Amino acid sequence: MKNSKISILHYLCSFLIASLLYGCSKEEDYQPESSFIKIFDDGSFESDYDPIDMVQAGENGFFILSAYDSWNTYILRVDEEGNFMWDFKLDDSYVNPIKGLYFQDSAFYFFCMDDVTLGTYLMKATDAGKNAVVDKSFGNILYPLHSSQVSDGFLLESYNRESYSTRLTKLDVGFDTRWSEEYKVEQDVEEPIISHLTRIGERLPFFTGQAGDKYFLNGYFNYSMSMIFVNGNDGSQTGVVNGFREKSAISAAQYLNGNSFALSRFSFDDNFIMAKIDINTSSIAISSDLAGGKHPEMTQNARVYIKSLDVNGRNISLYATSTKAGQILLYAFDALNGKLIGTHHIGRINPYEAVGFVQTADGGLLVLATTYVNGRFPRIALIKLSEKELIGFAS
C-alpha cells in the first residue's frame, strides 16, 4: 500500500455513511471522528489483507496489525478519524503476526515468527520510524499462536512441534520471560496449525486471558481444542473444558468475576452464546455440555470476540461476530445477569467479517473488519460508532 491510498468510501457524504451504518441520524449531527466507514485498498488484484488486531494510541488514532498475501506482516497507522498516516510491509522473513497488539511508552508492540527457524519475535513500531524492528527474540518459542495482556505482564501461547505440546509463556511488563509451561498433545497437530497460520485452512480459536489469580488458554490439549486453566504463579494446570477434535470447542471467552465467564462455543455447524455461565476452573468439563442459546444466523464455526465495556455507566459484555448474510453482528448483554440488552448489525452493501473492536477514548466503538472490494478482494475496514449510537443499543 502506498501513501497515496485513500478509503474508497471517503467520497460518500456524511448522511449516506450514517444511513448505511445506522439507518438514521441527521446530517447536522454527524461528526467525521464520531461515525465513519473506512476501507483501505491498494489497487492490486494479487494482494489480499487479513486484519488481525488494533490498539488505540491514546487520543492520537489507532495502529492496525494485519497479515497480507497469506501470512506476511503488514502494519497500518491511522488518525482518530481513520485517515491514513503511514504503513509498512515487513520483510518476508517476518511472518505469522498474531493477535495481541500493545501500546506503551509511545511505541507499538506485537509478536510474529521467523519463516525459517519458526522462532518468535517481539516487534516494535514507532511513528518516528514508520516501520517495525525486532525488539526481542524468543528462539525457543516456536509457532506463536496468540498473546494477551494481563495485570502484571503478558501471556504468549505457542505450539512446540518438538515435544508435541501447547505452550504458555508468562512475560513481565518488559516482555522478559517469567515462566513457561507445556500441555501435552497426544497427536501431531502441526498440519492444521500451519493451515491456520497460513490462512489456507480452517481458522482455529486460539486465545489466552486472565481469570482472577489464574490464567486460561484455548488450544490443543490431548486430542482436542480445549480451554485450559492454569495457576498464575507457575502455569501448572488446574482444570480444563475439553472440546471434541476441532469440531466442538469454546470459540471465545471473557472473564467476568468469581467463577463467571461470558463464553461462546461451536459444535459442528451450530454456534452457542453463554453470556453469563459459571465454570469450575479446578475441574474437568466438556464444552458441548455447557448450556447456551443457539444462534443460527452466525457463520459456521464463527469467529467471536468478547470484551467487557462500560457503556453509559452500565457494565456489558459485548460480542462481535459475523453472519451468514455478510454482516457484522454486535450483541450487548448485561454482565450482571447475562440478559440480552440489544443487537446491532453493520453492513448492507459490502460484506463484512468481524475481526475485533475497541472502545474509543470518546466513548464510541471502533470495529475492525475484513471486507471484500468488488466482492472478491479482501481488504481492511474500520467502522466507527459514536458514543450515542453505542448507548442506543447497549445500555
Per-residue pLDDT in tens (0 to 9) along the chain, 395 residues: 433 343 434 333 333 344 344 433 444 454 656 899 999 988 777 789 999 999 999 888 999 999 999 999 999 999 999 999 999 999 999 999 999 999 999 999 999 999 999 999 999 999 999 999 999 999 999 999 999 999 999 999 999 999 999 999 999 999 999 999 999 999 999 999 999 999 998 899 999 999 999 999 999 999 999 999 999 999 999 999 999 998 899 999 999 999 999 999 999 889 999 999 999 999 999 999 998 899 999 999 899 999 999 999 999 999 999 999 999 999 999 999 999 999 999 998 789 999 999 999 999 999 999 999 877 889 999 999 999 999 999 98
The pTM score is 0.91
Element containing residue 1 per DSSP (H, E): none
Burial of 179 (0-12, 13-18, 19+ CB in 10 A): middle
**Closest listed residue to residue 386, CA positions, set 29, 63, 27, 13:** 29
pLDDT given for residue 32 in this prediction = 59
Q: What is the DSSP string of 117-128?
A: T-EEEEEEEETT
What's the rounded Cα separation, in Å, for the pair 331 and 339? 10
Burial of 14 (0-12, 13-18, 19+ CB in 10 A): middle
First to last CA, the chain: 39
Fold of 143-296: Thrombin, subunit H (2.40.10)
Question: Please, where are the H alpha helices in 9-73?
Answer: 14-22
pLDDT given for residue 31 in this prediction = 61
Q: Specify the residue for cell string 440488552.
A: 341
Instruction: Tell me the backbone φ, ψ of residue 336, rounded to 5 degrees.
Output: -80, -40
> What's the angle, vertex CA 275, arms to CA 154 and CA 277, rounded to 5?
85
> What's the angle, vertex CA 300, arms to CA 327 and CA 75, rounded to 5?
60
Burial of 15 (0-12, 13-18, 19+ CB in 10 A): middle
Do the beta carbons of residue 39 and residue 49 sit within 8 Å? no
What's the rounded Cα separation, in Å, for the pair 273 and 266? 9
Do the beta carbons of residue 88 and residue 125 sit within 8 Å? yes
Beta bridge partners of 264: 252, 273
Helices (H) and strands (E) in the chain, counts: 3, 30
The domain spans of the chain are 1-86+306-395, 143-296
